[in-house]
Amino acid sequence: MNAEPLPTGPLPTKPARVSTEPARAEPVRFDTKIAVLLREDLEPWQRLNVTAFLVSGIGASVPEVIGEPYEDADGTGYLPMFRQPVLVFEGTKETLTSAHTKALSRALPRALFTSDLFSTGNDRDNRAAVRAVPTAELDLVGLAVYGPRNAVDKMLKGARMHP
């Protein structure tokens, strides 16, 4: 890394903040997408709960989607988050089933949430509830995927942005 030359002339009275972020003229356009698809008939609390659970699966399994840790001006540290937006969609039960089938056929990294998981209270029982149901019979209420933008867009056909 090359050091920048020191400025000549009078020094500023207050040190200038130096950003470590590269200057960008235009917004970043990612070639990948993180998307959550929720069944349209969920209660508001369920939508939030399902979304949180689903994106945790993507973050845990796809490390390249996680950015650097945060720090405020006082030096207090914060956990890293996704480096790109998470887009949330909604659709019918049929839209969710179709999206699930497409995600499987494209081998996209995915997380699912079934209606059975609303009645369990721990990770072990959650996994057992999913394991007990064949793929074609899963009562999906949410699905999160990560992958190339075009593949995710095709998977989401029929879904609409969450209001």
pTM over 0.75: yes
What's the pLDDT band for 22 if we cut at 50, 70, 90? low
pLDDT in tens, 87-111: 999 999 999 999 999 999 999 999 9
Distance CA 150, CA 156 (A): 10
Greatest Cα pair distance in the chain? 73
Sorting pLDDT into bands at 50, 70 and 90, what band is 23? Answer: low
Statement: residue 85 has pLDDT above 70 = yes
How many other β-carbons are positioned within 10 Å of the β-carbon of residue 144? 27
CB within 8 Å of 47: residues ≥ 6 apart: 38, 162
pLDDT of residue 107: 94
Residue 32 falls in which region: left (phi positive, over 0), alpha (psi -120 to 50) or beta: beta
The DSSP 8-state label assigned to residue 120 in this structure reads -
Strands 77-78 and 70-71: antiparallel
